[in-house]
Amino acid sequence: MVATITPPQTAAARYLLDAQSPNQSLLPLTAKVNSQDHLEVGGCDVVELAARFGTSLYILDETTVRTAAAQYRDAFKTHYGGESLVIYASKAWNCLAICAIVASEGLGIDVVSAGELHTAVLAGFDKGKIYLHGNNKSLEELKMAIEHQVTIVVDNWSELRSLADLTQGRDSVQIMVRLTPGIECHTHEYIKTGRIDSKFGFDPNDTEKVFEFISHQPGLKFLGLHAHIGSQIFELKPHEDLGPVMVGWLSKAKQYGLSIAQLDIGGGLGIRYTESDDPPSIDEWARVVCQSVTAACEQEGLPLPKLISEPGRSLVGTACVTAYTIGGHKTVPGIRTYLSVDGGMSDNPRPITYQSLYRAMVANKMSAPIDQTVTIAGKHCESGDVLIKDAELAATEPGDILVIPDTGAYNYSMSSNYNRIARPAAVLVNGGQAHLILVRETLEDLLRHDRLPDHLV
């Protein structure tokens, strides 16, 4: 575990902490301060990137993504006696470049829409490693998944019956069944998905009815079970508890003549957003999961299934920082000082949605003393557009470059055009080279889908 520290009084000292596991770091693994006292990521000066590509700007470190992927892959090989597969939960950030990196590391991918599936296919994923999730898949999405021969994780009765109809008279379609295991964990209310009161997955009371139904459907090839208990989890006990619950249901499935070849235990490992966050390492998390499933299989007398995990945030969250240009400030005497930046809730909706906490630094003054407390406000016409309350920073002036770390997960993927603000660009950095992976939207892009009826012209 990473110990809680007393924050030092410069950004360079406070945030450039050694961490063996990427999810335990506050900055990308390649982050350092260069000779100009600027933050550098992937060998690239963040201040220079901001000048070259504009702000706000997502800066993604390739080394950190690949390191996290390798640690997951190696941890399951080390701690599990059977076959395993790590698949990227791409809802965290789905774009061609990230998908291509993950595919090149030998990982699979979890997609939840036709758009994510289309991107994964174009990025070169082995279709046997693509899993389609979602609680309300359309018929078009189901047909697309069948056409691409990917595994469909069935979420409910309506979807199961639709698949039974779609697969009549054709080759079998690979499916898994998602169950709600009834396991609670300490995380935000909106991202608890394993409890009984959830929109995801079959009710446990329906499990045997589901198995019986599938056993009579020749067009459905049952592979195994799936569960996911939530996101941004620091506790290991819920994942330890998940193993015997899921293996017990696998044993039930076997009684109906169904395959028990695969078990997907989801993801959910948290990352370090602030100094006080103390997530387990990737290796610690994988060890607990593997030992739990192994012990449960021994108890039930079952062979080890192919064990699948679905990290998302812990693969890409720490790998990205977002750079902003500081604008004006407003001081409310005796209350607070607002420091405004040229982005906000449209490029990072997590603070207004989940009350998520972040840290910040001035990228062009990394060794300057931290001597002010400000509230970092976005530019949107919304009182709640506040990225960080009570941020501790070095003294700033308009034109300085503010950086918020840990913005790789759910920032771009949940971004919007609120106030008709264009989405930012994103660059991939590695070895001193910066590659544009998402082009900044233009005003013309914002109008691309507008249509003006003739009578209004």
Q: Could you tell me where the DSSP H helices lie in 33-156?
A: 46-53, 62-79, 96-104, 114-122, 139-148
Contact 128, 308 (CB under 8 A): no
Q: End-to-end distance of the chain based on CA atoms, in angstroms?
A: 63
Give dist(CA 315, CA 39) in Å, integer. Answer: 22
CA nearest neighbour of 307 among 253, 256, 266, 254: 266
**Torsion region of 52: left, alpha or beta (phi above 0 gives left; psi -120 to 50 gives alpha):** alpha
The CA distance from 430 to 328, in Å, is 33
Distance CA 124, CA 118 (A): 10
AA identity, residue 452? L
DSSP calls for 390-436? EEEEE---TT-EEEEE--SSSSSTT---GGGPPPPEEEEEETTEEEE
In angstroms, rounded to a whole number, what is the distance separating the alpha carbons of residues 7 and 2?
14
Q: List, by residue number, the catalytic residues.
A: 381
